[in-house]
Amino acid sequence: MTDRHRTEILSADSPESFRQAVEAAAARLRAGEVVALPTETVYGLAAHAFNPAAVRRVYEVKGRPLSNPLIVHVASLDMARNCARVWPPEADLLARAFWPGPLTLVLPKTDLVPPEVTAGLDTVALRWPAHPLIQAVIRACGFPLAAPSANLANRVSPTEAAHVHAQLEGRIPLIVDGGPCTVGIESTVLDLTTSPPCILRPGMIHAEALAAVLGRPVRSEPAKAPAETARPSPGLFPKHYAPAAPVLVLNWKDTPDLCRQLSARGLDPVHAHVLSHTCVPDPAAFTEVRVLPREPEAYARALYACWHRCDRLGARLIIMEAVPDEPAWAGIADRLRRAQGEAH
Ligand code: TXA
Ligand code: MG
């Protein structure tokens, strides 16, 4: 059982409140407590990465299986290198190109990183996030922060403080509000312990961008794990990042075509929340129709807030318009596939 907390939300929209929020968060983290902090991708549920008891609290609060490792967030290259037993030249190239930013590197770990963080693996996932708030908190602490996304296990990641509050109110003492996340989906996770490097979870930094920096291709999909062994990255479970309602990803020509496709599946269009970005159907035929941006960065920024809204409204069915099969959309396409619960 997790203890009940009064969950405080601190804003950080003036220099003074920013400083106070950083101090309050750092004090709690030093004391081994768990705190929700903004990053540029999604909000994270942070704990002292070198304090096993604090890290165990994170799993408890989220209801996350202990077999799913956490990302360690740093605020300097030195801090990252202290956590990695091996620091290959490719890690330097990628860090120079993409850090601080939405890229996580998997490397062999040092003994500083307790097995609680890595779920017993010999590797650690490292990221230097770009959001000024979490950077300031890490610097104030002087130690890295282990942080998964600040949602309950198997729910949609939060991109606003209110999303964190809706899921974790009463379970954590503090949420720092750093405004809406500017990237909007979780970081790209790249395994540098394999050759060629392998993307374990696609994000907005896509395979082509990584390959351009490395001067060699990266693999976009991990080798299929034998059925009986653990998956290389538990984030790869097909059903993940999902809103409560069933999600269906479709293409359609026009409103009657979409209605026909739903009826053919035994689904009633009046129960559908339709999230489109190019072919916007007639709102009269559905519960609601929302229009997402056509440009991938803006689409990613808006997506999870739409899914949280569907959860809040008690949606019965969510229809997503399929997105282009292009590198810039690969992270988004992955989240749509997982929300639909489709094996990749
Ligand atoms: O953008 C993000 O990455 C956000 C923010 C808070 O930084 N964090 C996030 O954490 O999405 P989480 O725990 O929800 O996802 C971490 C992913 C999971 O798929 C996990 O399996 C993988 O990283 N991971 C962590 N450590 C790993 C390791 N040692 N080897 C392979 N995969 C690892
Ligand atoms: Mg997550």
The DSSP output letter for 219 is B
Q: How far is the CA of 39 from the centre of ligand 1 (A)?
A: 13
Kindly give the distance from the C-alpha atom of residue 261 to the centroid of ligand 1, in angstroms, as a whole number. Answer: 36
Question: To the nearest 10°, the Cα dihedral for 267, 271, 275, 279?
Answer: 60
Of the residues 59, 167, 189, which should be mutated to test ligand 1's pocket, given the most ligand atoms within 8 Å of the CB? Answer: 189
- Each as own residue / partner, the long-range contacts of residues 294-299 (CB below 8 Å, 24 or more positions apart, any chain) are 296/204, 296/323, 296/328, 296/329, 296/332, 297/183, 297/204, 299/323, 299/329, 299/332
Strand arrangement of the beta sheet that strand 174-177 belongs to:
8-11, 174-177, 35-37, 44-48, 145-146, 71-73, 123-127, 103-108, 188-191, 198-201
Could you count the other beta carbons within 10 Å of the beta carbon of residue 4? 8
* Residue among 43, 55, 70, 123 to mutate when testing ligand 1 (max atoms within 8 A of CB): 70
Model confidence at 2: pLDDT above 60 = no
Q: Which of 107, 155, 160, 186 to mutate to test the pocket of ligand 1 (most atoms within 8 A of CB)?
A: 186
Residue nearest to atom 17 of ligand 1 (CA): 235
* pLDDT tens readout for residues 256-301: 999 999 999 999 999 999 999 999 999 999 999 999 999 999 999 9
Average pLDDT, the chain: 94
- The pLDDT tens digits for 84-116 are 999 999 999 999 999 999 999 999 999 999 999
Q: What is the pLDDT of residue 343?
A: 44
Banded pLDDT at 229 (limits 50, 70, 90): very low
Q: State the Cα angle at 83 between 79 and 87, rounded to 5°.
A: 90
Q: Which ligand is nearest to the CA of 152?
A: 2
> What token pair was written down for 319?
């229809």
Strand partners, 248: 319
Ligand 2 centroid from CA 178, angstroms: 19
Pocket of ligand 1 (CB under 6 A): 39, 41-42, 44, 68-71, 102, 104, 106, 118, 121, 123-125, 127, 129, 147-149, 186-187, 189, 200-201, 233-235
Q: Could you tell me which of 166, 328, 97, 340 has the C-alpha nearest to residue 239?
A: 340
Domains of the chain: 8-214 (3.90.870.10), 247-340 (3.40.50)
Pairing of strands 272-276, 317-321: parallel
Give me 270's structure tokens.
Answer: 């009046």
How many A from CA of 71 to the centre of ligand 1?
5
Please name the residues in contact with 292: beta carbons below 8 A apart, sequence gap of 6 or more. 275, 276, 277, 299, 302, 303, 306
In contact, 216 and 205? CB cutoff 8 Å: no
CB count, 10 Å around CB of 234? Answer: 15
Q: What is the pTM of this model?
A: 0.94
Distance of CA 219 to the CA centre of its chain: 20
Tell me what pLDDT residue 241 has.
72
Distance between Cα 115 and ligand 1 center (Å): 15
* Shortest-distance ligand to the CA of residue 234: 1
Mention every residue, 6+ apart, whose C-beta is less than 8 A from residue 257. none
- The residue type of 300 is A
**83 φ, ψ to 5°?**
-95, -15
Q: What is the pLDDT of residue 298?
A: 98
β-pairing, 123-127 with 198-201? Answer: unpaired
Say if CB 147 and CB 37 are below 8 A apart.
yes
Give 202-207's long-range contacts (Cβ < 8 A, gap of 24+): 202/330, 202/331, 202/333, 202/334, 203/41, 203/102, 203/103, 203/331, 204/102, 204/296, 204/297, 204/300, 204/331, 205/98, 205/101, 205/102, 205/103, 206/327, 206/328, 206/330, 206/331, 207/327, 207/330
Mind listing the pLDDT tens digit for each residue in 75-85?
999 999 999 99
pLDDT tier, 228 (very low <50, low <70, confident <90, very high otherwise): very low
Ligand 1 mean position, distance from CA 28 (Å): 23
